Amino acid sequence: MLAHVDSLAVLGVDAYLVRVEVDVSPGLIVFSVVGLPDAAVRESGERVRAAIRNSGFSMPARRITVNLAPADTKKQGPTFDLPIALGVLLGDGQCKPLPVSFAACGELGLNGEVRPISGVLPMALGAREAG
């Protein structure tokens, strides 16, 4: 099932919207991230798996594909851990749909704790401008 969660990224001093699309489908158990992720974003799969399990949810034993759009802009840091985890849970039917005007940003600890990230002020301003 396809789910999406809006997020934000910082480029210079400005923030821009990033749509985190997550497809949870039958197939080999694979977790892949596309859309120009850096190493920290590619590693998010391990943090997301552990955070979901240690928060009392179940990690789907399915093929999970994450697309960070727009695909032509480099995505950096652990900012997308939280929206990816939400997308996995939405795509697997483990949580209720999110409000339309909702954006998520945050690093996840292995225990599911949301940790602080840098660039929150421009992200908050960007989210407000985007509605």
Question: Region 19-47: what's the mean pLDDT?
Answer: 94
Report pLDDT for 27.
94
Report pLDDT for 131.
81
62 CB neighbour count, 10 Å cutoff = 18
Q: pLDDT (tens digit, 9 = 90+) per residue, 83-124?
A: 999 999 999 999 999 988 899 999 999 999 999 999 999 999
Say whether pLDDT at 40 is over 90. Answer: no
CATH of the domain spanning 2-130, picked from 3.40.710.10, 3.50.50.60, 3.40.50.1100, 3.30.230.10: 3.30.230.10
Domain ranges across the chain: 2-130
Q: pLDDT (tens digit, 9 = 90+) per residue, 47-67?
A: 999 999 999 999 999 999 999
**Over pLDDT 90: what percentage of the chain?**
85
CB proximity list for 20: less than 8 A, separation 6 or greater: 4, 5, 6, 7, 66, 67, 68, 80, 83, 84, 87
